[in-house]
Amino acid sequence: MSEITWIILASAVLTYLTRCGGHLVLSRFSRIHPRVEAGLNAVPTAVLTALVAPAAYTAGPAEALALVAAGLIGLRGGMMSVFFGGAAVLIAGRQFFG
Amino acid sequence: MSADTSYASEGASDFRAGARLGLPIIVAVGPFAALFGALAIQNGFTEFQVVLMSATVFAGASQMVGLELFGQTIAPWLVVFSIFAVNFRHILYSAAVGRRMGGWTAWQKAVGFFFLVDPQYAEAERRGESGRTVGFAWYLGMALPVYVFWVFNSWLGARFGALIPDPHALGIDFLLPIYFLGLVVGFRKRPLWLPVVLVAAVVSIVAYTVIGSPWHISVGALAGVVLAAAVPPSPQARADYDDPPPDQSGQSV
């Protein structure tokens, strides 16, 4: 099997472990320490920010405009409007800036 | 016999109630599934691998993260680790939702947890909080159609994506950061959101320029998580921990 297939299967196993592991592990404790809970709560925000920030930092004008637009739309609208709004600004910007 | 029949019809109506909740999710994530399929093909996946990943991982954001990293030449275990990091939040979902699966068999739990995606978690919590039973039939009623369409739309994207003539003009290569930013903004009601975003952003950019990709992801993310854990807990959280509310103790297993 190719490397990609192995990566997919390993990711599938680990993803399943996160989905049943919380129940299996944390259910043994009646309480979760508030600092642990605060850290876990921050995980998705922190991971996704770490993915976006360098992309924004190295981006050209069209990409930067698209991110600003997507962020502003996100304050009002849902995921779909963010996505299509940001994509529209990006496509328009790339026509303009090349 | 009649008891069996009424039990079965109750299960069927619960299944339908769940399926109704799944409908908007199917519409909302359909384009992302197709986008995943299209991007995956551009990153060297075969159609089989697209379907395999959607069918076995079944976690949109992490599948996208995986693709972003496949595009760069990095160690396979780092790709797997990054996908795991993005999906780590499911541990919390699993712990919370497990308390509502009181009448489930071990096998039903094992199956149910596979489908524990964000909207599934949110709807299960909402149903449980309103005092209704979070049953297996209801749960699968929501989960199965979402799952089937997620896999099918990924495959459609894989087929259609190969036909896209100029990915740069269509912005395909930069859609992921936009999508991720949308998710980040969507989390803005969480405690400490702004400090976590600022720290993760600054640290990941510094790490990107100093250490290089892909370590900036783990380093930046870790900085944000450590910050959230280092800030003193609110008096309310502190009090709940020292003196747990009665409904959270004792019935967790």
Digit-by-digit pLDDT tens for chain B (253 residues) are 444 555 667 789 999 999 988 887 887 788 789 889 998 998 889 999 999 999 999 998 889 888 878 766 778 888 898 888 888 878 878 887 888 888 899 999 999 999 999 889 878 888 887 889 999 999 999 999 999 999 999 999 999 876 766 767 777 678 778 878 988 898 888 889 999 999 999 999 999 999 876 678 878 988 998 999 999 888 888 887 887 665 544 444 3
Give the per-residue pLDDT at B140: 97
Return the closest-CA partner of residue A80 out of B21, B242, B24, B123.
Answer: B24
Share of chain A above pLDDT 90, in %: 49
Give the per-residue pLDDT at B248: 47
List the single best residue of A2, A31, A43 to mutate versus B (max B Cβ within 10 A): A43
Given 3-state DSSP classes, what are the helix, strand and coil percentages for chain B, each rounded to the nearest 5? 75, 0, 25
Find out whether A46 and B200 touch, Cβ atoms under 8 Å.
Answer: yes
Q: Which residues of B touch A40 (CB under 8 A)?
A: 88-89, 91-92, 225
pTM for the whole thing? Answer: 0.70
Query: Is the backbone peptide bond immediately before B214 cis, with ω within 30 degrees of 0?
Result: yes
Query: Which residues, 6+ apart, have CB-to-CB distance to A32 below 8 Å?
Result: A26, B95, B241
Beta strands in chain B (DSSP E): none
Return the closest-CA partner of residue A49 out of B225, B73, B88.
Answer: B225
Give the per-residue pLDDT at B1: 43
Give the per-residue pLDDT at B167: 66
Q: Which residues of B touch A4 (CB under 8 A)?
A: 44-45, 49, 70
Give the per-residue pLDDT at A28: 79
CA distance between the termini of chain A: 40
Find out whether A15 and B62 touch, Cβ atoms under 8 Å.
Answer: yes
Whether residues A55 and B177 touch (CB distance < 8 A) is answered with: yes
| ipTM summary value | 0.84
Distance CA B114, CA B176 (A): 25
Give the per-residue pLDDT at B6: 57
pLDDT in tens, B53-79: 999 999 988 898 888 787 667 788 888
Ranges of chain A with pLDDT below 50: none
Give the per-residue pLDDT at B250: 43
Helices A34-57 and B193-210 meet at what angle, rounded to 10? Answer: 50
What does the longest C-alpha to C-alpha distance in chain A come to?
58
Give the per-residue pLDDT at A65: 95
Element (H, E) at A7: helix A3-26
B-contacting residues in A 31-90 (Cβ below 8 Å):
31-59, 63, 66-67, 70-71, 74-75, 78-80, 82-83, 86-87, 90
Residues in chain A: 98
HSE-up (13 A, CA, CB side) for residue B72: 12
